[in-house]
Amino acid sequence: MTGAESFGLTDADLAVKPTVYAPGMFDGKVALVSGGAGGIGRATAWLLARLGAHVIISGRSEAKIAGLIGAMRETGLACSGHAVDIREPEGVAAFFDRIWDEHGQLDLLVNSAGGQFPQAAIDFSVKGWNAVINTNLNGTWFMMQAAARKWRDAGQPGSIVNVVVVTTHGLHGVAHTVAARAGVIGLSRSVAVEWAPLGIRVNCVAPGAIETDGWKVYTPQVRAAYPMTNPMMRAGDAWDIAEASVYLGGPAGKFITGELLTVDGGGQLWGETWTTGKPDYFKGADSRGADRPDGD
Ligand SMILES: CCCCCCC/C=C/C(=O)SCCNC(=O)CCNC(=O)[C@H](O)C(C)(C)COP(=O)(O)OP(=O)(O)OC[C@H]1O[C@@H](n2cnc3c(N)ncnc32)[C@H](O)[C@@H]1OP(=O)(O)O
Ligand SMILES: NC(=O)C1=CN([C@@H]2O[C@H](COP(=O)(O)OP(=O)(O)OC[C@H]3O[C@@H](n4cnc5c(N)ncnc54)[C@H](OP(=O)(O)O)[C@@H]3O)[C@@H](O)[C@H]2O)C=CC1
């Protein structure tokens, strides 16, 4: 692979990809997609804008946001963007002030900003652990809380979709992110109850292996094995997650809150996920070795 290689759907794909949803479904609505210039966020931003929403795109990289906004506006879609690090609560709060100043409303927040690096848990540094927890748990929370405060203060309903990771089986090499995402899922279930009186719904989508540029952090060997993470024996695409988020976050999900929708081709039921490669130990009984510490 070269540094220039990219994965997943392009803007040209996303501009025309067929959707199950009706045109105009989000007319008059305002949606915010964090990580909106990443793979899954980008697909979500295109889908929501094509369905009529004004989409606000955030992320850390101004250049990535500007590129996406240019591509979307070229096709006549309504969007704007702002660089915000979700780990900075003051910056996040100021961002939501700005959204209300400019639009006076927000209808849907999709938290797609996140990520991790693959490493054996036993080798995590304190800094590495904190980077992943701060991004995926704290950052997601700062966005959720800032949105909810605005909705409460404005007396407006709202909807949040958090894009997480499958946490129900041992996801090798990404224990830090599984810990953070399990936190987000638990948090979402709790505030789904606390915030129901405010008219705020909170749901999560757990993607399986979804081909995006986020895969660049994994080796070519590991990426090549991702289709083996599920019984469909293929990766999903970012549109799969975008349509799931729109289902939960939009009108189709109006009686759904505190829910987790897994979109992984059945990977929870069958499949192997090795983000740092399959260790010899798991390759078969013969590979366990006589020196394996059995603890007895
Ligand atoms: C059921 C099947 C599911 C399949 C799941 C597997 C597939 C999953 C795919 C994805 O989720 S892909 C999409 C997500 N995108 C990414 O993950 C992109 C890359 N990740 C990030 O950018 C993370 O957000 C980040 C690493 C947390 C970035 O945070 P930050 O910008 O603060 O990081 P750094 O400053 O670069 O690093 C901070 C600190 O972290 C440690 N560290 C970072 N990278 C590595 C690494 N490759 N190996 C070991 N340690 C790493 C390290 O301590 C860094 O500090 P320094 O050493 O640089 O001082
Ligand atoms: N692709 C997959 O197979 C899977 C993905 N997921 C999760 O889905 C989500 C989206 O993934 P995907 O689109 O594939 O990955 P990408 O890496 O393509 O997108 C993630 C986006 O998050 C943004 N981001 C990261 N950290 C921060 C931060 N501190 N503040 C603001 N923005 C930030 C990045 O923007 P910028 O570069 O501008 O900082 C980036 O565009 C992630 O949480 C990911 O872990 C879960 C399971 C599988």
* C-alpha of residue 133 to centroid of ligand 2, in Å: 14
Kindly give the distance from the C-alpha atom of residue 289 to the centroid of ligand 2, in angstroms, as a whole number: 38
Distance 124 CA to ligand 1 centre (A): 11
Residue ranges lining ligand 1, Cβ < 6 Å? 115-117, 119, 125, 127-128, 131-132, 135, 166, 208-209, 212, 214-215, 217, 229, 264, 267, 273, 275
pLDDT tens per residue across span 66-93: 999 999 999 999 999 999 999 999 999 9
Polymer length of the chain: 296
Whole-complex ipTM: 0.98
The domain segmentation of the chain, as residue ranges, is 22-288
Taking alpha carbons only, the member of 195, 168, 166, 177 closest to residue 140 is: 177
Q: Does residue 84 come out as left (phi exceeding 0), alpha (psi in the -120 to 50 range) or beta?
A: beta
Closest CA to 93 of 135, 149, 159: 149
- The stretch 159-176 carries a mean pLDDT of 96
Q: What is the pLDDT of residues 179-226, one digit of tens each?
A: 999 999 999 999 999 999 999 999 999 999 999 999 999 999 999 999
**pLDDT given for residue 286 in this prediction:** 65
Q: Which CATH class is domain 22-288?
A: alpha beta
Q: Mean pLDDT for the chain?
A: 96
Q: What is the bridge-based pairing of β-strands 200-207 and 79-83?
A: unpaired
Q: What pLDDT, on a 0 to 100 scale, did the predictor assign at position 290?
A: 58
Q: Would you state the structure tokens that stand for residue 154, as one six-digit string? A: 């404005």
Asked if residue 282 has pLDDT above 80, the reply is yes
CA distances from 223 to 120, 209, 215 (A): 17, 9, 7
Q: What share of the chain has pLDDT > 90, as a percent? A: 93
